[in-house]
Structure 1
Amino acid sequence: MICPLANVEKVFDTEHGVVYQCSRQNCYWLEFQGTTTAFKISDLFLFKKRIDAIDIEAMLSESSRSYDFEIVMPFRTERCYLLNVSDILNLREILAGTKFMIQLNSEVKRCLRRGCVIA
């Protein structure tokens, strides 16, 4: 649950989850699998990198039950994610879209400060 006093704006969402930016607490909130986890921006990008590094091909090709799920504990959180292949792909989509929107917003702000002309 996001703090009711937080000032949040939606950054990116899919049918499987959403990421909000909180300007009051200077963090990002990930809603996924029915829970909400707060991240500093650097931790969010580290989490994305960790999710992107999961070997989906090995999970699909190995018959051992130990490859059915991946357990991921984001840095500086109390959250633990138990992810199957579908969850990983959904989370990758959310995090990739979030990263793109954050970078796009930074580029737009940079252009506005410089007075860039967009044709």
Structure 2
Amino acid sequence: MICPLANVEEVFKTENGAVYQCSRKNCYWLEFQDSTTSFSVSDFFLFKRRVDSIDIEQMLCDSSRSSDFEIIMPYRTDRCFILTVADILNLREVLDGAKFMIELNGQIKSIMRRGAICAF
């Protein structure tokens, strides 16, 4: 559950999850698997890198039961993600979309600042 006092804006959303940005607390909220997890900005990108580093091909080729899922415990959270291959792909989609939108917003702000400087 996102804090009711937080000032959040949707960054990216799919049918499987969403990422919101909280300007008041300078953090990101991830909604995934029916729960919400708060991340500092740096921890959010560390978590994304960790999810991206999962070797899905190895999971699919390995017939042992332990390769049917991946367990991820993000830094400074009380959350533990137990992810199947489908979950990993869905989470990657949410995180990739959020990262793209964050970078796009930064580029737009940069262009607008340059435009404001050139107008003077």
Give the distance between the partners of 1:9 and 1:95, measured in 2 at CA: 15
Q: Given residue 22 of structure 1, which amino acid in structure 2 is its aligned partner?
A: C
TM-score (norm 1): 0.96
Q: Which consecutive aligned stretches of 4+ in structure 1 deviate over 4 angstroms post-superposition?
A: none
Report the equivalent of 1:13. 13
Give the distance between the partners of 1:43 and 1:107, measured in 2 at CA: 22
Report the equivalent of 1:46. 46
Matches within 5 A, 1:1-119: 1-115=1-115
Give the distance between the partners of 1:62 and 1:20, measured in 2 at CA: 35
Give the distance between the partners of 1:34 and 1:68, measured in 2 at CA: 21
Task: Output the aligned Cα RMSD.
Answer: 1.2
Identity, % of aligned pairs? 68
State the shift of 1:40 in Å.
1.0
Give the distance between the partners of 1:48 and 1:23, measured in 2 at CA: 20
Give the distance between the partners of 2:102 and 2:40, measured in 1 at CA: 13
Task: Give the gaps of 5 or more residues in structure 2.
Answer: none
State the shift of 1:41 in Å.
1.2
Task: Give the gaps of 5 or more residues in structure 1.
Answer: none
Give the distance between the partners of 1:25 and 1:69, measured in 2 at CA: 32
Q: Given residue 78 of structure 1, which amino acid in structure 2 is its aligned partner?
A: D
Give the distance between the partners of 1:72 and 1:58, measured in 2 at CA: 17
Q: Which has the higher helix share?
A: 2
Q: Given residue 34 of structure 1, which amino acid in structure 2 is its aligned partner?
A: D
TM-score (norm 2): 0.95
SS of structure 2 residue aligned to 1:115: helix
